[in-house]
Amino acid sequence: MTRKQKRLSVIAVGAAFLIGATALTFYALGQKASYFFMPADLQAATLQPGQRIRLGGLVENGSIVRGQGTQVSFAVTDQENTVKVTYTGILPDLFREGQGVITEGSFGSDGVFVADSVLAKHDENYMPKEVADSLKAKGVWEDGSGKAN
């Protein structure tokens, strides 16, 4: 093979790689990425049954109920709409009523959100960014108000 043919074949293999990887990437983005919703967004949203989403908001005051063993239920609210969430496992250290939270999972047939992971903020200075942005946009929460606990 000449240098030119060789270079062409390298470029061809590289291009095939890139195309394959790009196709795979966009397929995966379509299938595997999960969207973030606030409770109020859900009324307008159309979700496939069982579709994984991230649900964020504030943990409603007085909503935490411990069930049998390690099952916990609580409500996530953005003051406009409230969604009931159930979760089995250990809640994060910084999970508290009135504080920001992000849960990931899907809706069960009874309309209750079944979370398989619950994320709370990392320290007392800030909320999960998505939650803070959305709540600020709604005027429900301001920087610094999360410190009073």
Partner 1 sequence: MVEIGHFALVLAFALSLVQSVVPLFGARTGNERLMAVGGPVTVTGFALTALSFMALTTAYMQSDFSVANVWENSHSLKPMLYKFTGTWGNHEGSMLLWVLILTFFGALVAAFGANLPATLRANVLAVQGWIGAAFFLFILTTSNPFARLVPAPIEGRDLNPILQDIGLAVHPPLLYLGYVGFSVCFSFAVAALIEGKIDATWARWVRPWTLAAWVFLTGGIAMGSYWAYYELGWGGFWFWDPVENASFMPWLAGTALLHSAIVMEKRSALKIWTLLLAILTFSLSLLGTFLVRSGVLTSVHAFATDPSRGVFILCILMLFIGGSLALFALRAGSLTAGGMFQPISREGALVLNNLFLTTATATVLIGTLYPLVLEALTGDKISVGAPFFNLTFGALIVPLLLLVPFGPLLAWKRGDIYAAAQRLMMAFGGALIAMLVTVLFIDGATVFAALGIGIAFWLVLGALTDLVLKSGFGKVSGRIALSRLAGLPRSVFGTALAHLGIGLTVLGIVGVVSFEAERILTMKPGETTEIAGRIVRFEGLRPFQGPNFTEDRGRFVLVDAAGKDGAALISSKRFYPARRMPTTEAGIRTMGFSQLYVSLGDELPEGAVVVHMWWKPLVTLIWLGGLVMMLGGAVSLTDRRLRVGAPSRKPTRIADKPKPAAS
Could you list the residues that contact partner 1 (CB under 8 A)? Answer: 3, 6, 9-10, 13-14, 17-18, 21, 24-25, 28-29, 31-36, 54, 66, 69-70, 88-91, 93-94, 104, 121-126, 128-130, 149
122 assigned binding-site residue: yes
Cα(144)–Cα(89) distance, integer angstroms: 30
CB of 79 to partner 1, least distance (A): 19
126 assigned binding-site residue: yes
Residue 34 or 145 with smaller CB distance to partner 1 = 34
CB of 109 to partner 1, least distance (A): 23
Q: Show Cβ contacts of residue 118 under 8 Å, excluding neighbours closer than 6 positions.
A: 87, 89, 91, 92, 95, 101, 102, 103, 104
Phi, psi (deg, nearest 5) at residue 71:
-80, 135
For 57, other C-beta atoms within 10 Å of its C-beta total 31
Binding residues for heme: 122, 126
